[in-house]
């Protein structure tokens, strides 16, 4: 039954058209869930600001219906027991709306499909609001396209520093970090890593940790203005503006001279 299934699943999973419409018959069990279903809370930002525990993935389904997911790692764990061989899958998944919200989650199970679904739900429960801005001295465009400042995240032996990058640089980083930053809505970013980045799960957790640190860091008001820091979603207009600028910038690859 083993047949290296875990290996093949990695990365080449076909994009599922997920039905993320809010479940009509959902009966919330938590205070936060009730407030969301009742319409007292209408944005993810407000939901997180309540400080109430997020224990129901439906909260995210309703507040961020456009959430995407990416399988980061599928690890097959084989164990010999008295009754024979046991196989389990450990799945790591990242979710995000590509605009200011990202989460990472894990799950274990006997089947890949159901474990992925469980991991997606767990990732939704770990959703954080990230900060973006233009922290690049070479850029100073005042658009929220990169991280506001250099921040280091850690997990296990892996350490990653996310540094602001000027517009058009893209995500100059490994595949795993790229997936997570894209889901978070970071368009340009430089990264520096230390440790065993081949341990995918720790690498992913370190990236998430860096984004989390970024969110929790205290910032002075004047800095918020200077770096144009925005927390959470930019909304469609702002995102579109940034995209348009990209398109304009593309035929001009040469770098600006530092003045």
Residues 199-218 that bind Zn ion (CB under 5 A): none
Of residues 30, 161, 13, the one with CA closest to residue 94: 13
Residue 186 to residue 99: CA distance in whole angstroms: 8
The angle that helices 200-216 and 175-184 make with each other, rounded to 10 degrees, is 40
Interface stretch with Zn ion, choices 36-44, 63-71, 135-143, 209-217 (CB under 5 A): 135-143
Interface stretch with Zn ion, choices 92-100, 127-135, 210-218, 219-227 (CB under 5 A): 127-135
Q: Which is nearer to Zn ion, 146 or 209 (CB)?
A: 146
Q: Which is nearer to Zn ion, 104 or 139 (CB)?
A: 139
139 binds Zn ion (CB under 5 A): yes
Residues 24-63 that bind Zn ion (CB under 5 A): none
Interface stretch with Zn ion, choices 26-34, 57-65, 160-168, 239-247 (CB under 5 A): 160-168
Count of residues engaged in binding Zn ion, rule: CB under 5 A: 4
CB of 174 to Zn ion, least distance (A): 23
CB of 140 to Zn ion, least distance (A): 6
Query: Which two tokens mark 257?
Result: 């001279």
Interface stretch with Zn ion, choices 17-25, 133-141, 225-233, 234-242 (CB under 5 A): 133-141
Residues 161-190 that bind Zn ion (CB under 5 A): 167
Q: 159-198 burial by CB neighbour count: b if 16+ within 10 A, else e?
A: bbbbbbbbbbbebebbebbbbbbbbbbbbbbbbebebebe
Contact 161, 191 (CB under 8 A): yes
> Judging by DSSP bridges, how do beta strands 189-194 and 128-129 pair with one another?
unpaired
Q: Which is nearer to Zn ion, 139 or 184 (CB)?
A: 139
Interface stretch with Zn ion, choices 137-145, 155-163, 189-197, 219-227 (CB under 5 A): 137-145
Q: Which is nearer to Zn ion, 139 or 201 (CB)?
A: 139
Residue 29 to residue 56: CA distance in whole angstroms: 8
Residue 63 to residue 54: CA distance in whole angstroms: 12
Residue 79 to residue 55: CA distance in whole angstroms: 31
Q: Which of 141, 150, 219, 224 binds Zn ion (CB under 5 A)?
A: 141
CB of 248 to Zn ion, least distance (A): 14
- Residue 43 contacts by C-beta under 8 Å, 6 or more apart in sequence? 63
Binding site for Zn ion (CB under 5 A): 134, 139, 141, 167
């Amino acid at each position: 039954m083993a047949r290296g299934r875990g290996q093949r699943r990695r990365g080449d999973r076909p994009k599922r058209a997920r039905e993320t419409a809010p479940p009509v018959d959902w009966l919330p069990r938590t205070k936060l869930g009730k407030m969301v279903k009742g319409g007292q809370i209408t944005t993810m930002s407000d939901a997180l600001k309540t400080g109430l525990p997020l224990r129901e993935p439906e909260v995210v389904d309703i507040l961020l219906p456009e959430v995407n997911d990416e399988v980061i790692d599928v690890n097959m764990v084989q164990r010999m027991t008295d009754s024979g061989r046991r196989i389990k899958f450990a799945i790591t998944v990242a979710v995000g709306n590509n605009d200011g919200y990202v989460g990472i989650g894990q799950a274990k199970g006997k089947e890949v499909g159901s474990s992925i679904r469980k991991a997606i739900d767990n990732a939704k429960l770990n959703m954080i609001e990230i900060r973006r801005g233009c922290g690049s001295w070479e850029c100073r465009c005042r658009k929220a396209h990169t991280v506001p400042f250099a921040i280091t995240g850690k997990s296990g032996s892996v350490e990653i520093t996310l540094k602001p990058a000027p517009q058009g640089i893209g995500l100059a980083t490994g595949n795993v970090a790229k997936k997570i930053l894209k889901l978070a809505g970071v368009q340009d970013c430089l990264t520096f890593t230390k440790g065993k980045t081949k341990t995918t799960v720790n690498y992913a957790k370190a990236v998430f940790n860096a984004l989390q640190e970024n969110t929790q860091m205290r910032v002075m008001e004047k800095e918020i203005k200077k770096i144009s820091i925005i927390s959470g979603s930019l909304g469609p207009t702002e995102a579109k503006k940034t995209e348009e600028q990209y398109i304009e910038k593309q035929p001009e690859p040469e770098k600006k001279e530092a003045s």
